[in-house]
Amino acid sequence: MYWDTHFRKLAGCTVFITGASRGIGKAIALKAAKDGANIVIAAKTTQAHPKLPGTIYTAAEEIEAAGGKALPCAVDVRDEQQINNAVEKAVEQFGGIDILVNNASAISLTNTLETPMKRVDLMMNVNTRGTYLTSKACIPYLKKSKIAHILNLSPPLNLNPLWFKQHCAYTIAKYGMSMCVLGMAEEFKGEIAVNALWPKTAIHTAAMDMLGGSGIESQCRKVDIIADAAYSIFKKPKSFTGNFIIDENILREEGVKNFDVYAIKPGHPLLPDFFLDEHPDTIIKKVESRGAVPELKEEKPQPPPKPRSGAVEETFRIVKDSLTDDVVQATQAIYQFELSGEDGGTWFLDLKSKGGNVGYGEPSHQADVVMSMSTDDFVKMFSGKLKPTMAFMSGKLKIKGNMALAIKLEKLMNQMNARL
């Protein structure tokens, strides 16, 4: 008997999931459905969208096919009446609610002056308010459940300004979801477990395709990793609460060793997700201790007028000195840098022609990758203070051309930093 319940942990449980018509929400639904769970699909899409696959009805079919029972409810999480109706229907049909997953989210990675108030309201109302409202509506029923879990798909509360600088509104809206975890975990301690789950890397969903453009998927993991992580949280007792969980970490604790199974393209470098600082501190310290690239914050008195041009030029000089035939052979690409801000302009790094070359101006042959960023960020990037993937994800770095070759450059920078 124990084995059976252990084996189908969520059999007969009712899981209420917002935004479950596609992506991460649907993946969590399907994982629970395999156990024979009842899934309430609380999502907005009732008619097929030209760009986004899936409706609440197609998701319901998949859930039933996986072994679960499905209740599709057309719900906009901004609408209190629609939420209350869906909760009422769920309780009527399944007799209660055991788990709530707040997954519905709106995203716009735009800075303050570029974000229309309509988008700000959408993010605040879907992410923060929608999570608060759905939790509030489900809590009376969750309190009666043996399982009693709320899981918000939101990040650890990282107050590094880097994550606010480029998309302040989005960060506030996501952190609002995480603050719900902080508050409600404490408020309902002993009655309901309230946790947050966030991926370590980018996850391949329709949303990610829209954000990252084509070719991004090879740097992502599949939605399965989040579904498996969520499932392992649902198995924990109510006392497991107030945690900000990273998918890979909890699965490692569960004994998972091989994460290649989750990669879209095993072996390919992965994009780290937002809000997680994984800076190569050792590299930064190495660079600082050798004083290779001047730290711009504390400028030593230098002959005016342009102290900064020194930094860009110096960086390229260091790069030039560390070029070898091996590096050129291994890379086979021409990079062009469009630098904005003080002492900006066009620079190139040729790792294709014999011996390699760097310089000011356009390369003699067509560049494979064009990277646009500020001179400040360029210097930080080459001195290991700013990871290119981080810069790209936070909008500081724009990349045109071959993404795989752009990633090659990041690996190269790490090797260069080690040598600096």
Catalytic residues: 170
Alpha helix stretches (DSSP H) within 95-167:
117-123, 130-142, 162-165
Which tokens hold the place of 311?
């930094």
How many Å from the N-terminal Cα to the C-terminal Cα in the chain? Answer: 62
Cis previous bond, 305, omega within 30 = yes
Q: Half-sphere exposure (CA, 13 Å, Cβ side) for 86? A: 33
Paired tokens of 361:
């101006």
CB 319 within 8 A of CB 417: no
The Cα 323–Cα 308 span in angstroms is 23
Helix (H) or strand (E) holding 206: helix 206-212
DSSP designation for 11: T
Q: What's the CA gap between 321 and 13, in Å, rounded?
A: 63
281 with 417: CB under 8 angstroms? Answer: no
**Inter-residue contact 56 to 73 (CB < 8 Å):** yes
Contacts 24+ apart (CB under 8 A), 213-219: 215/403, 215/404, 216/271, 216/403, 217/264, 217/265, 218/264, 218/265, 218/268, 218/403, 218/404, 219/265, 219/268, 219/269, 219/270, 219/271, 219/389, 219/403, 219/407
Strands (E), 44-192: 69-74, 99-102, 149-152
Contact call for residues 420 and 290 (beta carbons, < 8 A)? yes
- For the chain, what is the total number of helices (H) and then of strands (E)? 17, 12
